[in-house]
Structures are given as C-alpha cells and as structure tokens.
C-alpha cells in the first residue's frame, strides 16, 4: 500500500529547501519547524503536504491553532487546492468547557488527554504518510511545565514513528529569542527555523536556518527566503565559495572587443568576480554590458542587476557601440523596479 510509494527522502515542497537538506527530509521522522507568528510556517506546511499529495501519499493537517477555513484561505490566496488533505481541527479549548468544574490541574490533564487521543485516533484512521502538527505552542500553554511538555512530545514522536509518519511539527516562537528551542531540539530528528526581521529601512527580511538534521551534512547558516503569491515559501540557498563543481574547467569569457580581451590575457576567467571602479561617466556600465551582449550572442543566459540605471538608459548605450538594436532586446528578460 501507500508505504511502498514513499521515497526514503520526503520533499519539503519548498523550492530551495530540499537543496539545503540534500534532497529533503529523511523520511519517517519528526521534524520541527520553528518561527515567529507570520514567519510562513503554515504556508510551508501546506506546501509539504501538497508535495505528499502529488506523490499519492495520505496527508493530515492537525490544527490546534487555525481553523480549516483559515487554512483554506491561506491556500486560496496562493491559488492552491488543498482538497485531499485531511484537516483535523482540534480546538484545544473544547475540553475545558466539558471540564469546567474540575480543578485547574485536572483540566490541563484532561485537555492534554483529549487532544492526544484525538490525534492518535486520526492517525490510526487515516494512516497518514505525512502529518503536520500546528502547533506546539498550544500544548506548551496547556502543560505549563517543561517536563510535562517533553513527555507529551516524546509520546507523540514514539507514536508517529511506529506508524511510519513523516511529522512536521510547527512551533510558534513567542517573544524573545528562542525561549523554547532547546527542549525540543533534543527530541526532534531535525529542526528548521524561519526567521523574520525588520531592517532599519526597507521590507521585511526572511531567512531560514536548518539548525539540526540528524545524519545530513546540511548547508549551514542562514539562507534567504521569501513568501510569494502562488509559489508560497521559497528559499534561496546561499552560495558558498569554493563549492562549485571542480570538474568545470575555467573558461575565458570574452567581451567581443578584441583589444579589451587581449588586455585581459584573452578574457576574464569564468567563476571569478571582477570589480570595475571608475568615476561616473567613464564607461563602467558600457564596458560591463559588452560582456553581457557578447554572452547573449553566444547563446548563453545573462543576468544584469541594475540599481542605478534604467534599462531604457542602458540600451541606447549598447546600441551606440554597434551591438545592433535587434540583438540586444530579444533575449533580455526585463525585470526591474
């Protein structure tokens, strides 16, 4: 049955994140996704389940914090269908009402028991390959103390491991840096952190860090991340100098102007960075764009990042240097603010 369909590595469904994880999440384990409210956990979790659906896996979203309608709204805002994902909406407060006359201690115990039983029943019934648990914060609030909380998480880990579930457990970080990270780090097979920060100026900066992944030499440190309409959470693995494939031989990149190439000993070496310095109007942009047009003519793709000039200002400069109006605009993907 479904178990045979499962690969040993589960794709996260998040562009770029699988690359950092060297393929995805090592299957049938418990992973924690931490982040402040609004950092993208729920969005990424939906992507994770959608990736499972695509492979014909059975997927459950256990939600203690968001209603099915809220989850649907998030999916709809990206144009996604989450049909086929089983949503178990467990209100952590249901049990309180039924036990209003109990002491506070018993109430907490009852709520925990009911929540745990509901999750286990859902797992037994639907036999998911992938499960999202949103979020640990609610359990943390009910248990109140670390020991009880750890025991609860360990119990869930053992239960889901026995049933071959890849569980992605969301952990909402409240104020302050990582108040609760360590107690769960030890239990999970892997911990992924979404970070959201505001700079002095400009838009919010989103980053991701894989702070633990057992048995996987992940790309460590921060990697940039964004939440985009339709794509959802996307990750841009950091380029690490020296990790480019060594089998690729350096080539000499030509500008198309023989004298210039000769001056550089045949061209600029591929895989290197060249800084062009000069006063304004001395021809920095024009010289650099020679390499871009020459590469386009060779049929290669080129990225040009313009911060000062507009494309409409730079195009006449290119044409003025005899590179022909027709050759330049075709093949240029124009993407500038």
Ligand X SMILES: Nc1ncnc2c1ncn2[C@@H]1O[C@H](COP(=O)(O)OP(=O)(O)O)[C@@H](O)[C@H]1O
User: Can you tell me which of 3, 37, 269, 335 binds ligand X, judged by CB under 6 A?
Assistant: 37
For residue 89, count other CB atoms closer than 10 A to its CB.
16
Stretch that binds ligand X, among 73-81, 83-91, 266-274, 312-320 (CB under 6 A): 73-81
Residues with Cβ within 8 Å of 119's Cβ and at least 6 positions away in sequence, in order, are 62, 88, 90, 133, 156
In the list Mg ion, ligand X, none, the entry touching 16 (Cβ below 5 to 8 angstroms by class) is none
Instruction: Please say whether the beta carbons of 123 and 165 come within 8 A.
Output: yes
56 binds, among ligand X, Mg ion, none (CB under 5 to 8 A by kind): none
Residues in region 151-180 near ligand X by CB under 6 A: none
Dig out the tokens for 54 from the structure: 């695509």
78 binds ligand X (CB under 6 A): yes
Cα Rg of the chain, angstroms: 26
From 6, 41, 130, 323, residue interacting with ligand X (rule: CB under 6 A): 41
> Which stretch, 41-49, 90-98, 188-196, 245-253, contacts Mg ion (CB under 5 A)?
41-49
Q: Say how many Å lie between the first and final Cα of the chain, rounded.
A: 50
**Least Å from the CB of residue 310 to Mg ion:** 40
Contacts of 135 (CB under 8 A, 6+ apart): 41, 64, 65, 169, 170, 171, 172
CB atoms within 10 A of CB 216: 18
CA dist., res. 27 & res. 85, Å (int) = 19
Q: Helix or strand or coil: residue 290?
A: helix
Residue from 28, 34, 42, 293 in contact with Mg ion (CB under 5 A): 42
* Total number of residues that touch Mg ion (CB under 5 A): 1
Contact status: 42 vs ligand X (CB under 6 A): yes
Q: Which is nearer to ligand X, 87 or 227 (CB)?
A: 227
Strands (DSSP E) found in the chain: 9-10, 25-26, 30-35, 59-63, 86-89, 130-134, 166-172, 190-197, 205-213, 222-228, 232-236, 252-253, 268-269
**Smallest distance, Å, CB 12 to ligand X?**
14
User: Cα separation of 111 and 94, whole Å?
Assistant: 8
Task: Between 195 and 309, name the residue whose CB sits nearer to Mg ion.
Answer: 195
- Segment contacting Mg ion by CB under 5 A, of 36-44, 220-228, 248-256, 302-310: 36-44
The pattern of x and - marking residues 209 through 228 that bind ligand X according to CB under 6 A reads ------------------xx
CB of 66 to Mg ion, least distance (A): 6
**Smallest distance from the beta carbon of 180 to Mg ion, in angstroms?**
16
- CA 25, chain centre distance (Å): 12
Q: Which is nearer to ligand X, 174 or 214 (CB)?
A: 174
Binding partner selected for residue 298 from Mg ion, ligand X, none, CB under the kind-specific 5 to 8 Å limit: none
In the bound state with ligand X, the residue whose beta carbon lies nearer, of 63 and 293, is 63
Q: Which residues bind Mg ion (CB under 5 A)?
A: 42
Q: Which residues bind ligand X (CB under 6 A)?
A: 35, 37-43, 74, 77-78, 227-229
């Amino acid at each position: 049955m479904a178990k045979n369909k499962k690969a040993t590595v589960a794709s996260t469904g998040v562009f770029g994140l699988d690359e950092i994880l060297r393929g995805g999440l090592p299957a049938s384990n418990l992973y924690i996704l931490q982040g402040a409210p609004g950092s993208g956990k729920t969005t990424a979790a939906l992507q994770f389940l959608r990736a499972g659906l695509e492979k014909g896996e059975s997927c459950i979203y256990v939600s203690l914090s968001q209603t099915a309608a809220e989850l649907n709204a998030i999916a709809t805002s990206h144009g996604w269908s989450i049909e086929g994902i089983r949503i178990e909406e467990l209100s952590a407060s249901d049990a309180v009402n039924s036990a209003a006359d109990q002491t506070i201690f018993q109430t907490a115990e009852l709520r925990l028991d009911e929540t745990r039983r509901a999750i286990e029943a859902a797992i037994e019934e639907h036999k998911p390959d992938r499960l999202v648990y949103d979020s640990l914060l609610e359990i943390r609030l009910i248990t109140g103390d670390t020991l009880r909380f750890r025991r609860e998480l360990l119990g869930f880990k053992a239960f889901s491991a026995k049933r071959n579930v890849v569980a992605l457990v969301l952990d909402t970080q409240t104020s302050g840096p990582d108040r609760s990270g360590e107690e769960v780090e030890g239990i999970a097979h892997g911990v992924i952190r979404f970070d959201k920060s505001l700079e002095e100026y400009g838009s919010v900066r989103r980053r991701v860090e894989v702070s633990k992944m057992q048995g996987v030499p992940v790309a460590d440190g921060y990697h940039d991340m964004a939440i985009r309409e339709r794509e959802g959470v996307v990750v841009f693995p950091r380029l690490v100098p020296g990790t480019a494939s060594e089998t690729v031989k350096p080539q000499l990149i030509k500008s198309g102007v023989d004298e210039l190439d000769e001056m550089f000993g045949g061209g600029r070496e591929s895989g290197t960075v060249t800084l062009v310095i000069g006063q304004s109007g001395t021809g920095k942009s024009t010289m650099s764009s020679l390499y871009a047009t020459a590469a386009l003519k060779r049929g290669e793709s080129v990225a040009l990042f313009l911060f000062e000039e507009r494309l409409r200002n730079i195009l006449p400069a290119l044409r003025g240097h005899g590179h022909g109006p027709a050759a330049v605009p075709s093949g240029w993907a124009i993407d500038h603010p």
